[in-house]
Amino acid sequence: MAQDQEIDGRISFKYDSDWNTLTELDRFRKELCDDILEPYILNQRWYGGKASALKYIEIIDCFPIEDDQDLFYGIVLEVNFKEAFVHNYFLPIAFVTDQSLIGDKFIAHLNLNGTAGFLVDALLLESFRKQIFEKILEGEKYRYKEVAYRRGRSNTAQSYESSKLIGVEQSNTSIVYNDSYILKIFRRVYVDENPDYEISKYLTMKGIFKNTPKYLGSITLKFSNKNVITLGLMQELVPNQGDAWEYFVHNLKLTFEELSRQKPKLETLRPTRYLGQIAITDIPPVLLAWCPVEFFEDVSQLALRTAQMHIALGQERVNTAFTPQAFSSDYSVWLKNRLIYQFENRINLVENNLHKLEGLQLDLANELLSKKKIIRKQLLDFDEALLKSERLRIHGDYHLGQVLVKDRDFYIIDFEGEPESTIRDRKVKQPPIKDIAGIFRSFNYAIYATIFNNFEQYSYDLEELFEVAEVLYSHIVGVFLKTYINEVQTANLNIGYIKEIEFLLQYCLLEKAIYELGYELNARPRWAIIPLKGISNILNQQHYE
C-alpha cells in the first residue's frame, strides 16, 4: 500500500492506482470523505452548513463525465450534521499535473502510481467546462447512462468559443459561455427536479413571460429509477447594469441626501393608508420634491413585471405542476405547522441572543417577546374557508437581489425558492401575494439599510429618519399595489378582493419578517434590527391609518 507524504505542510495522498480506476478504491473513497473533503468544503462559498456541526461525509453517487480526451468524475456527497439533518452537494473532480492551470486552488495533493498532481474542482478547468457545454449542444439526453444533457429549443449556439467562471452566488457556481449563455451548476442539490429548472423551462416553452432569461438546456443526474437530481441549468445571459438591490439602494442614497439638503418639515410628510393603493399622479408634491417621480416609475415598472410573471404562472390548465388551486384545509395545516415551528425557532434565537443586543435593537427584541402570543395567534388565524383566491407556483424567494436591471426595465431570475425550505415545500402552490410581501420587505430593507449605513451624514436624528422611512415605504407599497392589482385583475388572475389581498399581504409580511429575523441573527446580527423594526411596524399598523 502506498504511504502518504507531506508537501508544503499538506499531506500528499498516494495510491497504487491511476485516475481511471481511483474512484473504485475503498481507501480513496474513505480518505476523500474523512480527510480530504471535510476541511475543503468548510471553506467553500457554496457550503451551507457553516452554522452547524459536521458529523461525517458520504459519497452517495459517483459517475464519469468523459469524452475521447478527458475523464472527470461527478460526485454527490451526503453531508451529515450532528443536529440530525443532511445536505447533498455536487462536486465535479479532476486530476491535473500542471499547477499553472489551477494555481493554489486545489483540493489535495495526489500521487497516483508515482505521478504527482492535484485533485481539483473540475469547474476550474476549461477542458471540463467545454465538454459539458458541447454535451448540452449535442442534446442527446439518452446517450449517457447516468446523466441526461438536454438542449432547449431556444438554444441557437453553434459551437464552444469561450467560458469563464463567475463566483458571485452563495449556493451555486455559474459559467458564462461565448459571452451569451450562462450555465448555473447547482452545488446544493436535491433528489427532485430543481424549481429553478422547472419554472425557467415552463416560462420559456410557453413563451408567456419575456422578462426572465430563456431556458436553453440542463444537466440531470438519473439518481435512481424514479428519482433525478438537477445538476445544471443553462439560460440566456441577460446584459444588465446589476441587480435591483444595488439600483434602488443607490437611488435611495441620493434621495436621502436630497432630503437632507432641503430639510422639509416632517409634519408636512404623511404616509398613505396602510396597504392602500396610490397612483403616481397622486403622490404629493412635497414628497416628489426630494424623491423624484422616476423612482416611483421604476417601482411601478417592477410591479408590472411581477404581475406579468404571476399571470404567466397562473394560466396553466393542463400541466398539474402549474395549474392554480383553491385554498384547502391541507394547505392551512401545512402552513400553520411550518410557520409556528419557524416562529418558535426565532423566539428561541432572540432569547438566546438577548444579551448581545443593546439600545433600539434590545427594545425591539423585548417588544417582540412581549407580543409573542399575539403573533402566534395571528399565524394561527389563517382560515382557508374565508379565502376565494387561488394558489399558484410562485417565485418563492422574491427580493430585489433576484431582479436584474437593464435600461430601467427588470428581469426576474433565480426561481429556486427559500433556501431554508425543503425541495417539496418550495413546490407547494402559494398565494402570489407572498412574492409581493417578499419584495415589500426587500424595499423596507433597502430603505433602512440606507439609513443605518449613512445616518450620520443626514440632517435628522434616527427617529426622524424612521418617520421619513415609513412615509417613503408606504408610497412605494401604494404605487406597487396600484399597478400590480390593476394588471393581474385585468388578466383575470384570481388574487381575491381587496380585503382578502390585504389580509394575505399582512399575513405574508409578518411571515417574511419572522423568516428574515432568523437569517440575520445567524449571519449578521447587526442587521437584525431591520426585521425587528419590520415586525414592530407590522404589529403597530394603526400608525398608518
| Percent of all residues in the chain with a pLDDT value above 70, rounded to a whole number | 97
Average pLDDT over residues 208-215: 94
Q: pTM for this structure?
A: 0.93
| Predicted local confidence at residue 519, as pLDDT | 85
pLDDT at 307 over 90: yes
pLDDT in tens, 50-91: 778 999 999 999 999 999 999 999 999 999 999 989 999 999
In this structure, the answer to whether residues 34 and 94 fall within a common structural domain is yes
Backbone angles phi, psi at 359, to 5 degrees: 60, -135
Q: Does 360 share its domain with 411?
A: no
Whether residue 203 is found in the same domain as residue 312? no
pLDDT at 540 (0 to 100): 85
Residues 170 and 100 in one domain: no
Per-residue pLDDT, 545: 39
Q: Is 1's pLDDT higher than 60?
A: no
Instruction: Tell whether the model's pLDDT for residue 248 goes beyond 70.
Output: yes
Return the CATH number at 206.
3.30.200
Q: Quick one: which of 414, 439, 416 has its CA closest to 426? A: 416
Of the pLDDT bands very low, low, confident and very high (cuts 50, 70, 90), residue 542 is very low
Burial 41-72 (b: 16+ CB within 10 A, else e): beeeebbbbeeeebeebebebbbebeeeeeeb
pLDDT band at 48 (very low <50, low <70, confident <90, very high): confident
- In angstroms, rounded to a whole number, what is the distance separating the alpha carbons of residues 181 and 159? 12
Pair 477, 537 in one domain: no
Phi then psi for residue 397, to 5 deg, are -140, 55
* Count of domains forming the chain: 4
Q: What is the pLDDT of residue 211?
A: 97
Judgement on whether residues 30 and 117 belong to the same structural domain of the protein: yes
User: Looking at residue 140, what is its pLDDT?
Assistant: 85
- The confidence score (pLDDT) of residue 149 equals 96
Any domain includes 103: yes
Q: What does pLDDT average to over the chain?
A: 93
Cα R_g (the chain), whole angstroms:
26
- Domain-located, residue 403: yes
Q: What is the pLDDT of residue 206?
A: 86
Residue 412 CB contacts under 8 Å (≥ 6 apart), including other chains: 211, 212, 305, 306, 309, 395, 398, 402, 403, 404
Q: At 4, is the pLDDT very low, low, confident or very high (cuts 50, 70, 90)?
A: low
Could you read off the pLDDT of 507-530 as tens digits, one per residue? 999 999 999 998 898 878 888 999
pLDDT at 454 over 50: yes
| Best CA proximity match to 452, nearest among 361, 388, 372 | 361
The whole domain housing 476 covers 240-321+396-419+433-496
Q: What is the mean pLDDT of residues 29-46?
A: 92
Split at pLDDT 50, 70, 90, the class of 293 is very high
* Chain centroid to CA 506: 22
Q: Do residues 309 and 211 lie in contact, with contact meaning Cβ atoms separated by under 8 Å?
A: yes
In sequence order, which residues have a C-beta less than 8 Å from that of residue 344 and are 6 or more positions away?
Answer: none
289 pLDDT more than 60: yes
Residues 311 and 406 in one domain: yes
What lies within 8 Å, CB to CB, of 67 at 6+ separation is 131, 134
CA–CA gap between residue 36 and residue 57 (Å, rounded): 10
Q: Is residue 274 part of a domain?
A: yes
Structural domain includes residue 361: yes
- For residue 428, is it within any domain? no
The residue that leads in pLDDT, 456 or 294, is: 294
Q: Which of 219, 236, 253 is the last residue of a domain?
A: 236
What is the pLDDT at residue 170?
A: 67
Q: Are 220 and 247 contained in the same domain?
A: no
411 and 300 within one domain: yes
pLDDT for residue 420: 81
Neighbours of 338 (CB within 10 A): 16
Q: Is residue 63 part of a domain?
A: yes
Q: Of the candidates 208, 236, 264, which is a domain's last residue?
A: 236
pLDDT, tens digit (0-9, with 9 covering 90-100), for 433-449: 999 999 999 999 999 99
Q: Is residue 78 part of a domain?
A: yes
Same domain for 280 and 411, yes or no, is yes
- In this prediction, residue 3 has a pLDDT band, given cuts at 50, 70 and 90, of low
Model confidence at 314, pLDDT cuts 50, 70, 90, reads very high
Q: Is 466 left (phi over 0), alpha (psi -120 to 50) or beta?
A: alpha
State the pLDDT at residue 7.
Answer: 62
Task: Answer whether residue 8 shows pLDDT above 90.
Answer: no
Q: Say what the pLDDT of residue 251 is.
A: 98
Say if residue 202 is in the same domain as residue 345. no
In a domain, 148, yes or no: yes
pLDDT single digits (tens) 128-184 = 999 999 999 998 888 888 999 999 999 999 999 999 998 655 679 999 999 999 999
- For 375-405, the pLDDT digits (tens) are 999 999 999 999 999 999 999 999 999 999 9
Choose between 5 and 536: higher pLDDT. 536
Last residue within a domain, chosen from 78, 94, 122: 122
* 415 and 295, same domain (yes or no): yes
160 CB burial (10 A radius; 0-12, 13-18, 19+) = middle
The single-letter code of the amino acid at 78 is E
DSSP per-residue string spanning 160-196: ---EEEE---SSEEEEEETTTEEEEEESEE-SS--HH
Helix-helix angle 498-523:372-380, to 10 degrees: 130
